[in-house]
Amino acid sequence: MNDIQLDARAPVRPDRLATLKAGWFWCCMFCLLCWGPYVLVSKLGAIEVPALSMQFLFTIGGVPVAIGVLATRRFRLEKSPQGITYGIIVGLLSGIGGMALFAAYGTGANTAVVTVMTGSIRW
């Protein structure tokens, strides 16, 4: 049966320990802890306000985070034109996708289904 261990008493493999010690793993866990409430609050907000308003408010809510990120970088911006272009494209796609997500939540559809169908817990 490949190399999958089904015995709960079996020792943890070294590669699993490495994963638990990796920085990316804990960033992913923190992301999940943030996006769980994000989905709930998005659903509640989308019921009360239209998708375009929700996207605007979402963007305003991101301003303090952006200022915090800039502050940690001592307000130095990136100089890579390619990286800046990719970042702007990600922002545009994220904004458009966010509006569609808020519109889907606003229809009253099942939040769990909408979240899974949009590739969430977040895009």
**Lowest-confidence pick of 32-41, 46-55, 88-97, 113-122:** 113-122
Determine contact, residues 46/105, Cβ cutoff 8 Å: yes
Domain ranges of the chain: 38-117
Q: How far is CA 39 from the centre of its chain?
A: 10
How confident is the model over 80-115, as pLDDT tens digits?
999 999 999 999 998 998 899 899 989 988 888 888
Does 106 or 18 have the greater pLDDT score? 106
Q: Which long-range contacts (CB under 8 A, 24 or more apart) does 36-42 make?
A: 36/121, 38/121, 38/122, 39/111, 39/115, 39/120, 39/121, 39/122, 40/111, 42/101, 42/102, 42/105
pTM of the entire predicted model? 0.69
